[in-house]
A and B are shown apart, each in its own frame.
Chain A
Amino acid sequence: MKINDVILRTVVKAVVFIILTLGVYLFFAGHNAPGGGFIGGLVLGSAVVLLYLTYDIETVHKGMPFDFKKVAAFGVLLATGTAIGSIFFNVPFLTQAAREFHFPLLGETHLSTVMIFEAGVALTVIGTLVTIILSISEDE
C-alpha cells in the first residue's frame, strides 16, 4: 500500500525552517535567559529527526552527509577544547573570557568563549539524539 503523505511532506518543508530558527534563537538566548546549548541542540536535533521521519534515510543523508556519531564526538571535542584552552592561559580550568565587539551592521555585540563551549554542547546533543533515533530505526 502506498502511503499518501503529501500533507506531511508539504507541512514539514515549512515547519523545519521554523524549528531550526527557534533552535538557533534558543541557542543564542541561553547566555542570559532560558535556552542554551542543550535545549537549542535538542530543538535542532528534533528538526533533523522530523526530516528523517518524513523522507527516508537515504534522501536526508544525501542532503546532510554527516556521520552523526562523529558530530557528537566533534561537539565534545569543542566543549572540552574551550575548557582546556584556559590551561594554556595559566588561569583556572574552565575559565571563560568575554568581550564587547563592534561589528558593522550588528553593532555592539557581546562575544564570549562560553558560546563555543555551548556550540560544542549543542553539536553533542544533536549528534547523540540523531544517532539514537537512527539506531532504533535500523532495527529489524
Chain B
Amino acid sequence: MNNIIVLPLIIPIVTAILLVFLRHNIRLQRIVSLVTVAAVSIIAFILLLEVQTNGIMKIDFSGWLPPFGILFVADSFSMLLVLTANIITAICLIYAFSTIGGRHERMFFYPFVLFLIAGVNGSFLTGDIFNLFVCFEVMLLASYVLVALGGEKFQLRESLKYVLINVVASWMFLVALAYLYGTLKTLNMAHIAVRVAEAGQDPVLTTVAILFLIVFSLKAGLLLFFWLPGSYSVPPTAVQALFAALLTKVGIYALFRTFTLMFTLNASITHMLIGVMAGITIVLGCLGALSGRDVRTIAAYNVIIGVGFILIGLAIGTEQAFAGAIYYLIHDMVAKALLFLIVGTMVYLTGEIIVKNMNGLIRHYPLFGWIYFIVMCALAGIPPLSGFLGKVLIGQQAVEGGFYVLLAIGFGSSIIVLYSLLRIFLAAFFGETSISEEDKKPIPKGAMASFVVLALCIIALGLGAEGIAPYVEDAARTLADPAIYIEAILGAK
C-alpha cells in the first residue's frame, strides 16, 4: 500500500487545523509548523529514494482504479519538487520566526503557510487534472490570505488585483477542463495522454491545449506576468520569499506535465508558442529589471526572467533540455527564496526601498553582503554555483536543436541579471555607510541562520550536482518518454 504518497498533502492540513486550536500558544505553533514541514521533507526524500528502486508509485484513493478514481502519483520530477519546496518552506519559517511579528502569528499565519504548502505538494503529486485544479485552489486561497494579512492599504490594493486575476484564471482553468472532458471524457492525466494519442491531436484538442497554456502561463508568470511584480512586493518578506520560490513554480510544473505528457503531438504549434512566449517573457523581464528603481521590483522581475529561462527547456523538448530545466528549476527555487529574503532584510535594515538611497551595508553586515554576492553569482550562472549546470545543459540543447534566438535571449538575460543585481550590490553594499555604529539594527539570528543555510544549499547544489544527477536524469527520462508514466498508471497495454 502506497499511502505514504498522500502524507505530504494531509500532514500539513491536519497540523494546520490543530494550530487553529493553539492560536495563542505561539511558541508551540512555531515548533509544530517547523516539525511538520521538516517531517514532510523527510517523507519526500524517502519517497524519492523509493521511486528510484520501485519505479513510479501511485495511490488510488478509496481503491477506485484509474481512470475512474482520483490518484496521487510519485515520480522523480514531482518528488524532487516536493522535497525542494518543503526544505525552502522550512527555511522561510525559520526566517519568519524572528521577523514576522506577533500580530501575524496570532492571526493564523502558520496555519496558512501550512495550507499553502499542502496545496503546493498536492499540485505536484496529483495524477488527475481536476484534482490539480482543486490543489491549485487550496494553494491560491492560502496565498490570498497571506497577501492580504496585515491589512495595510497597499496590501489590500494589490491583493484585490491578485485575487481578481487568479479568480479569472481559475475560471478559465475550469472552462478548459470542461472542454477537455467534453472531448476526451476523462480527467486522469495518463488516460488523457492515451486518448489524445488515439484520437490524434486535432485542431479542437490543440485549442484546448492552448487554453491550458494560457491558464498555466497566468499562474507561472509566463508572458502574462503583469500581476506579479505588484502582488509579490506587498506581503511580509518571508511570504514574498515563499511566493517567489513556490507559486510560479507550480505553474511551471503544470506546464511541464501538460506539454510533456498530454499534448505532445502538435509540438510545432504548442511548443513553438511556448518558446516564443518564453523569449518575450525574458526580454520583458530584463527590461523591467533594468528599469526598476526599488529593490523589490528588481527582484520580482528576476523571478520573471527565471520563469522564461526554465520554459526554454520545455520549448526545446529533448531529454537533456528537460534535465537542464529541472536543475535550473530547483536552483531557481532556492536562489529566489534567498534573494527575496535578502532584499526584504535590506529594506528592513535601511528603511528604504530605492536602491540609490542605500549604501555601505557590507561595512556593518559583512557576512550578509557576501551571501548576497553568492546568490547574485548563482543567478547569473557562474560556476561552480547552482545556476551553472542548468544553463549549460539548456544552452547545449538549444545549439543542437537550432534554437539560436532562444539561446541568445537566454544567455543575454544572464548578463542583464548580473547587471541588475550588481547594481544593487555596488550601490547598496559598497561605499561609505550613512548609518552610524550605534544606530545600526542587528540582523536577527534566525534570519541570519536562514541566509546561511540557503547559501549553503546553493553551493551544495552546484558542487554536489553529481549527487542529484541520478534523480534528475530519471525525472527527465520520464518527461521525455511519457510511455513510462502512462504504463505505471494504467498498467502495461
Contacts and interface: CB of A to CB of B under 8 A. Distances in A.
B267 interface: no
B21 A92 contact: no
B17 A73 contact: yes
Contacts of B63: 91-92, 95
A84 interface: yes
A96 B59 CA distance: 15
Interface residues of A, number: 18
B17 A77 contact: yes
Given A80-B13, A83-B10, A84-B10, A92 B20 contact: no
B3 A87 contact: yes
Contact of B59 (A70, A84, A90, A93): A93
Contacts of A92: 1, 3, 59-63
Nearest to B18: A77
Contacts of B1: 90-92
Given A70-B20, A70-B21, A73-B20, A94 B62 contact: yes
A76 interface: yes
Contacts of A80: 10, 13-14, 17
A69 B62 contact: no
Report the interface size class on chain B: 10 to 19
A93 B6 contact: yes
Nearest to A72: B20
Contact of A95 (B13, B20, B21, B62): B62
A97 B20 CA distance: 29
B62 A73 contact: no
Q: Which applies to chain B's interface (DSSP): helix, strand, loop or mixed?
A: helix
Interface string B37-81: 000000000000000000000011111000000000000000000
A109 to B, nearest CB: 23
A73 B63 CA distance: 27
Given A70-B21, A73-B20, A73-B21, A93 B13 contact: no
A7 B39 CA distance: 58
Interface string B237-261: 0000000000000000000000000
A86 B20 CA distance: 24
Nearest to B13: A80
A92 B57 CA distance: 13
Interface string B200-216: 00000000000000000
Nearest to B70: A94
Contacts of A90: 1, 3
B176 to A, nearest CB: 25
Interface in A39-93: 69-70, 73, 76-77, 80-81, 83-84, 86-87, 90-93
Interface of A: 69-70, 73, 76-77, 80-81, 83-84, 86-87, 90-96
Interface of B: 1, 3, 6, 10, 13-14, 17-18, 20-21, 59-63
7 contacts: A73-B20, A76-B13, A91-B63, A92-B1, A93-B10, A94-B61, A94-B62
